[in-house]
Amino acid sequence: MAKPSKAPKAPKFWYAKTLFFYLKYLIYTERFCDTFTKSMDQILAPVSANETQFKYYGHDLTLGSALDPTATLTINGIPRVPTLRKIGSLTSAQVLTLATANEPMVAGVPGFAIVIDYVYLEYIFVTTPYTVAGVGNFQVINGAHQMVSSCAVAGFLDQGQNMIMRMNGTSNGSGTYFTAASYNGATLFLDLSGVTNPTLGDGTIQYTVQYQLIPIV
């Protein structure tokens, strides 16, 4: 009975060739990862405040200053106004005096008007709801004008559970006009109108303001 023939041995250079392609793969992978990491660093973490040219998904982005929220932003040469967001909170002590002591939310910037997209409030219930006397509203004001739609205090602060509220950006008397000076550098405040200070409660308020800084000539 004939013995089965053995498979021919692979040439010795086959091992060297395999090793060569494997090393080549590692080199190209390392270069790709290094390039990708450097590209992301350029987008997310500029080397200096003066480095303002970026490539972002094929778009040319230019900032007047990488660290300045009032900087001019251009996308493919078209000027855009960046949308900004401020997140903050009010303690129970601040809530208890909100009708008589307005709380600052966004600091004003000289030469700019703050235009609001929306204000989002979240009431964080702790152990005791607030007692609210009267029929009043939450307002966001810049010291001279109401900047968002009002929302009732009752049904929000006097609840024994967490509550959320959204106020859209719209000025009081929409369609009318105001002096530029009354908006120039004005700080945004959270205010309670039409009611006395709440009592008894111990909850807190978390807020988010989405807005734009518009230059005033």
Residue 65: predicted pLDDT: 43
Cβ-contact 194, 135 below 8 angstroms: yes
Task: Please state the domain extents for the chain.
Answer: 46-79, 83-215
Within the chain, strands assigned E span 53-56, 59-63, 73-75, 78-80, 84-90, 103-106, 112-124, 137-141, 151-152, 163-168, 188-193, 204-215
Residue 67: predicted pLDDT: 44
CATH architecture under which domain 83-215 falls:
Sandwich (2.60)
Q: Tokens for 50, please give them.
A: 């003066």
Q: Show pLDDT as tens, one digit a residue, over the chain (217 residues).
A: 555 555 555 555 555 566 556 655 655 555 444 444 344 333 333 333 434 444 443 444 444 444 466 666 666 666 667 788 899 999 999 999 999 999 999 999 899 888 888 999 999 999 999 999 888 899 898 867 777 778 899 999 999 999 999 998 765 545 557 788 888 999 999 999 888 999 999 999 999 998 888 888 8
Residue 75: predicted pLDDT: 60
